[in-house]
Amino acid sequence: MKKRLLFCSFVGILTACQREGDIQPTSTTLTGEVVGTYRTNFYIDPSVALSAGQLPYAEVKAESDNKVTLVFHQPALAQKDRVVQHVSLSRRANSIQFNVSSSTIATLQADRVFSDNGMEKEGQLLRITLQDGSESTLNFSGARQ
């Protein structure tokens, strides 16, 4: 009888001491996965050697379940922000593509990203390539904040 009581109390203690974690809902839409602010630094993009307040950054704002607005800020150049509206999203094997009129302008994928002090971690990396006519091209790589 004592063995059964010890066994039952042992099982009771083991089940009572388990960590419980709330189940978090997953993002059901592509927009929910990509919305946010993406910042670059010298470690992500060495061509951007500016002070922290002058670094370019991108914002992705939701329009609908699979459409977003992409806003690119360049504080160092004192230019007005570049806005691309009605960007459609599509999922690929390892990334999410941002498309405007059947051409891909950006991708978001899990990759190695670096913090401002150079520490490497796994994160979401947004890569943007925008053409402004025939001569000007905007390239941006940034990690989600």
Tens digit of each residue's pLDDT (9 = 90 or more) over 38-84 = 888 766 666 666 666 677 888 999 998 889 999 988 776 666 778 89
Q: What is the helix (H) or strand (E) element at residue 38, kind and residue range?
A: strand 36-39
Residue 51 CB neighbours (<10 A): 8
Domain boundaries, the chain: 26-144
Tens digit of each residue's pLDDT (9 = 90 or more) over 83-142 = 899 999 999 989 999 999 888 999 999 888 877 777 778 888 888 888 766 667 788 888
- The answer, as to whether pTM is greater than 0.75, is no
Mean pLDDT value across the chain: 80
